[in-house]
Amino acid sequence: MNRRDWLKRTAVGAVAVGSLALPKKRAEAKDPAGSALHSTSKLAGAKVFTTACNFCSCGCGMLCYVKDGKLIDLEGDPNHIVNEGALCSKGAAIIAAHESDHRAR
């Protein structure tokens, strides 16, 4: 076996192994505002808005829950391609930055 044949076989093997690791079908995330969990909690009756985290350049998606003109909760957007519902510690702390007296309005 020469070098060229070895490279061809290695590439084909890598593609085959990589295709096995791909998910078959992405699970559809439910709308968090319509779930039973939110209908009995402090988020009942809150409007949901989507936004992006402003701490870094990743652009993670966030769901903002607003009730009576006040931001009451933030969570990761499960339908967002970047973070798929997860937030880092900086993203989870945006609510404190939003409520800060030092924030430019």
- Classify residue 53: in a domain, yes or no: yes
**For position 27, what pLDDT does the model report?**
45
- Classify residue 56: in a domain, yes or no: yes
CA distance 46 to 103: 23
CA distance 51 to 83: 13
- Specify the range with the lowest mean pLDDT, choosing from 6-15, 20-29, 78-87: 20-29
Give 33-84 pLDDT, tens digit per residue: 444 445 557 778 888 888 888 888 788 888 888 888 888 888 888 888 888 8
CB 47 within 8 A of CB 66: yes
Domain count, the chain: 1
CATH number at residue 84: 3.30.200.210
- Classify residue 10: in a domain, yes or no: no
- Classify residue 92: in a domain, yes or no: yes
- Classify residue 16: in a domain, yes or no: no
The stretch 92-99 carries a mean pLDDT of: 79
Res 96 pLDDT > 60:
yes
Can you name the residues that pair with 35 across neighbouring β-strands?
none
The stretch 9-34 carries a mean pLDDT of: 65
Percent of the chain with pLDDT over 70: 81
Structural domain including 44 reads 32-98
pLDDT-derived band at 22, boundaries 50, 70, 90:
low
